[in-house]
Amino acid sequence: SLLNSRYKLVCYYTNWSWYRPGIGKYSPEDIDPSLCTHIVYGFAVLGNDGLMTAHDTWSDYDNRFYERVVEYKRYGIKVSLALGGWNDSAGDKYSKLVNDPAARAKFVQHAVAFLEKYGFDGLDLDWEYPKCWQVDCSKGPDSDKQGFADLVHELSAVLKPKGLLLSAAVSPNKMVIDAGYDVPVLARLLDWIAVMTYDYHGQWDKKTGHVAPLYYHPDDDTTYFNANYTIHYWMEKGTPASKIVMGMPMYGQSFTIENRGIHGLNIPVSDGGEPGEYTRAKGFLAYYEICDRIRNSGWTVVKDPYQRMGPYAYKGNQWVSFDDVEIIKKKVNFIKSLNLGGGMIWALDLDDYRNRCGQGKHPLLNAIKTELLNPKIEMEKEMQQKPHK
């Protein structure tokens, strides 16, 4: 089983997924305990008082979601609580917290009590991002980097003696890494660093692009928007491979393209793609929505012949990039070849967990598990497979 393997498979659970209609509704009981070594519950938030608090008391408390997810500890899975996320990272509240030693001390005491009260095994820090608030590096003070490192230091000092875990989800973007993270300190003190190697491209680019490229593509604007570069960069800055878990998306970035006659990479888009019928967010589709479109609605799939990235699919003026089983397996072999700590997924409720598309339940997550447990590493015929740069 995964729990006896040397790899982590860190699965994010989202407490808003149960509000989705019909087959999109995902509850704690839908988690398959054989597929994860760690479950991270998203999200708790930072209250106005500078303390960690439930984001949705209706699901978390009244419907006992904290308890229902923490139940999975009985399988030997570690269950952490994530603090932050994209929406909660707006504004200056995290910056205020980390830059004030008294506020940090109060936060740490309360956070540890909060975790213990609900039986969580650890805390996962998801501030996006120190110095570069929601990727705008002109917003935060330079001191965020030191302040975040200080918070990690102070949390670690209290959590570690109690046998509780401390981890973080971090940016894949070189600019943000340089500005926001004291990498050697984080690498020493965190139990794992989950690198969010996805959302490299999206509607914000005003052109089509792949959500999570594995390797550089000659038509890219930069050399560093791919997992291969990102992971090596985190290691170069001082992170041991064993502390890195590499993120993989169970969703796609979608686009509305301007000219339906042209449908490749880097073509102009007018907007994010139309919302999915279950996930209901512009520019975003769950894997189970994508595979259904391909299977039942006649979307055309285009694969990269060199497997530098997963496929994209389109129909009319709708276009989506995503990871399929094939590229996921290649990413897992990449994880193994570098001796990384394991893989991470965003998120449990976005994979085809009901077998809507006939590839079995949780096809992407199962592909990660199978490949992690596969004793051999597919040594790539590098020169044949990768175009010369």
Task: Write the pLDDT tens digit of every residue in 157-172.
Answer: 999 999 999 999 999 9
What pLDDT, on the 0 to 100 scale, is given for residue 384?
45
How many whole angstroms separate alpha carbon 348 and alpha carbon 40? 10
How many whole angstroms separate alpha carbon 173 and alpha carbon 71? 35
Q: Do the Cβ atoms of 328 and 370 come closer than 8 Å?
A: no
277 is catalytic: no
What pLDDT, on the 0 to 100 scale, is given for residue 376?
86
What pLDDT, on the 0 to 100 scale, is given for residue 248?
99
What pLDDT, on the 0 to 100 scale, is given for residue 382?
47
Q: Can you say how many angstroms the Cα of residue 160 is from the centroid of all Cα atoms in its chain?
A: 24
What pLDDT, on the 0 to 100 scale, is given for residue 380?
55
How many whole angstroms separate alpha carbon 28 and alpha carbon 68? 6
The partner residues of 254 in beta bridges, in order of sequence, read 320
The partner residues of 39 in beta bridges, in order of sequence, read 11, 79
How many whole angstroms separate alpha carbon 15 and alpha carbon 51? 20
Sign of CA pseudo-dihedral 98, 100, 106, 108: positive
What pLDDT, on the 0 to 100 scale, is given for residue 176?
98
SS3 378: coil
| Catalytic-role residue among 67, 71, 116, 128 | 128
How many whole angstroms separate alpha carbon 87 and alpha carbon 347? 16
What pLDDT, on the 0 to 100 scale, is given for residue 389?
47
Q: Could you tell me the CATH superfamily of domain 2-249+324-385?
A: Glycosidases (3.20.20.80)
**Two tokens at 48?**
């106005």
Model pTM score: 0.96
Closest to 8 measured CA to CA, from 192, 164, 168, 232:
192
Q: Which stretches of the chain drop beneath a pLDDT of 50? A: 382-384, 388-389
How many whole angstroms separate alpha carbon 176 and alpha carbon 226? 14
Query: What H or E segment, with its residue span, contains residue 195?
Result: strand 192-195
What pLDDT, on the 0 to 100 scale, is given for residue 108?
98
Region class of 280: left (phi > 0), else alpha (psi between -120 and 50), else beta = left
